[in-house]
Structure formats: structure tokens, C-alpha cells
């Protein structure tokens, strides 16, 4: 019994330490947590990212899902696929590339819907290798689901898809609007 209590307490203090890495300003609103997500993954080549800050933005069990073309799909196979990652998977798989090559992602428009303690953001993004790059190498939409526990916002999932020539971004997602105020 004492062993179990010690394990629970150790887990609690580890989680508390992780949450402490994320400031209350990061999680006070839908707008602030969305901006914190973009900030934490962005930076120049050679710059370490604050992965503890990122972990602190996400609810336990949160998912990160990329939707992409299925390479080599046969005529009887769906042309699209998704890859579901945990936050730790994302950090392990994408982190080294983001830090080695440099990566800057910024939000260019946001459409937010809120009901009670849940929120959904369609966040249109542009990605650049360097801040000075005139044109982004990728644009797309991050679909971000959030939950407010009464004290702060948590990211529950992020699903994203990049723009392609066959699937360009509609004009309505290139300007903010609709739904709730983005400061909520």
C-alpha cells in the first residue's frame, strides 16, 4: 500500500513540475494556448525547443494527427491516410528535424467555436524554414480541439493537413472570423 502511495505522489509531483513549465499566460485563453503552441515549435536552426512547455499545453492522452496523401496508393485504396501521434511521439520524431533545419510556423487566420468548456479552432498556418523567407514552404490548417477544466485551457488534439495544388486553402480560411471571439 505504501509503495502505491509513493508512486502516486511521485507521479503527481512530476506532473506538477511539468505544468509549472507552462505559464498561466500560455493557458489562460484559446488565443494564448494556440499562440504558445506555434511559439514552442518555432525557432532557428540549432535552437533547442522548450519541450516541457509544449508538454504542459496538452491534456493527458492528447493526440497529434497528420492527414496526408498515401504514397503509392493503389486504385482500390483510399488516397489519404492519417498518422496518429502522442505528444511524446511528435517530440521524438519531429523535434530533431525542427531543431536542426529551423522551422517557423505562424498563424495567419483563426476561426474559433466555443460551447461551455470545449473549444475548436481552425487555425490556418504558414511554415517557413527562416523568418526572412518571403514565401512559406507550406500552408495548411491545424484543427485544434480544446477543453477548459475551470482553471485553464488544455489542448486535447491537433489534426492538420497541408495545402496541395489539388486541395488549396479556401478564401474563408485565409481571414479570421466566425464563431467566438479569439480572445476567449
CATH architecture of 2-173: Roll (3.10)
**Does the pLDDT at position 143 exceed 90?**
yes
Q: Which residues contact 16 (CB under 8 A, 6 or more apart)?
A: none
**Does the pLDDT at position 178 exceed 80?**
no
Q: Which of 181, 41, 15 is nearest to 102 (CA)?
A: 41
Euclidean distance between CA atoms 90 and 86, whole angstroms: 6
* Cell digits of residue 95: 523535434
**Does the pLDDT at position 53 exceed 50?**
yes
Reported as a pLDDT band with limits 50, 70 and 90, residue 21 is: low
Residue 121 near residue 57, CB atoms below 8 Å: no
- For the stretch 60-96, pLDDT in tens is 999 999 999 888 878 898 888 999 999 999 999 999 9
Quick one: pLDDT at residue 80?
86
In whole numbers, what is the pLDDT of the chain averaged over residues?
88
Q: Based on C-alpha coordinates, what's the Rg of the chain?
A: 18
Of 4-18, 66-80, 152-166, the range with the lowest mean pLDDT is 4-18
End-to-end C-alpha distance for the chain, whole angstroms: 44
Q: Which residue has the cell 510556423?
A: 105
* Cell digits of residue 47: 535552437
User: Does the pTM of the predicted model rise above 0.95?
Assistant: no
Three-state secondary structure readout of 134-166: CCCCEEEEEEEEEEECCCCEEEEEEEEEECECC
Where are the domains positioned within the chain?
2-173
**Does the pLDDT at position 156 exceed 70?**
yes
**Does the pLDDT at position 124 exceed 50?**
yes
**Does the pLDDT at position 3 exceed 70?**
no
Reported as a pLDDT band with limits 50, 70 and 90, residue 8 is: very low
Amino acid at each position: 500500500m505504501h509503495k502505491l502511495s509513493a508512486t502516486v505522489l511521485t507521479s503527481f509531483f512530476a506532473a506538477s513540475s511539468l505544468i509549472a513549465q507552462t505559464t498561466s499566460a500560455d493557458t489562460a485563453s484559446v488565443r494564448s494556448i494556440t499562440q504558445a503552441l506555434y511559439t514552442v515549435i518555432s525557432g532557428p536552426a540549432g535552437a533547442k525547443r522548450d519541450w516541457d512547455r509544449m508538454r504542459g499545453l496538452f491534456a493527458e492522452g492528447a493526440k497529434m494527427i497528420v492527414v496526408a496523401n498515401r504514397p503509392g496508393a493503389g486504385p482500390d485504396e483510399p488516397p489519404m491516410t492519417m498518422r496518429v501521434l502522442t505528444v511524446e511521439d511528435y517530440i521524438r520524431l519531429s523535434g530533431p528535424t525542427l531543431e536542426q533545419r529551423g522551422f517557423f510556423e505562424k498563424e495567419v487566420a483563426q476561426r474559433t467555436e466555443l460551447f461551455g468548456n470545449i473549444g475548436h479552432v481552425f487555425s490556418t498556418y504558414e511554415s517557413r524554414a527562416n523568418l526572412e523567407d518571403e514565401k512559406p514552404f507550406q500552408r495548411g490548417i491545424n484543427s485544434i480541439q480544446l477543453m477548459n477544466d475551470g482553471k485553464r485551457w488544455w489542448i486535447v488534439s491537433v489534426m492538420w493537413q497541408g495545402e496541395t495544388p489539388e486541395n488549396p486553402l479556401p478564401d474563408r480560411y485565409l481571414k479570421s472570423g466566425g464563431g467566438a471571439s479569439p480572445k476567449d
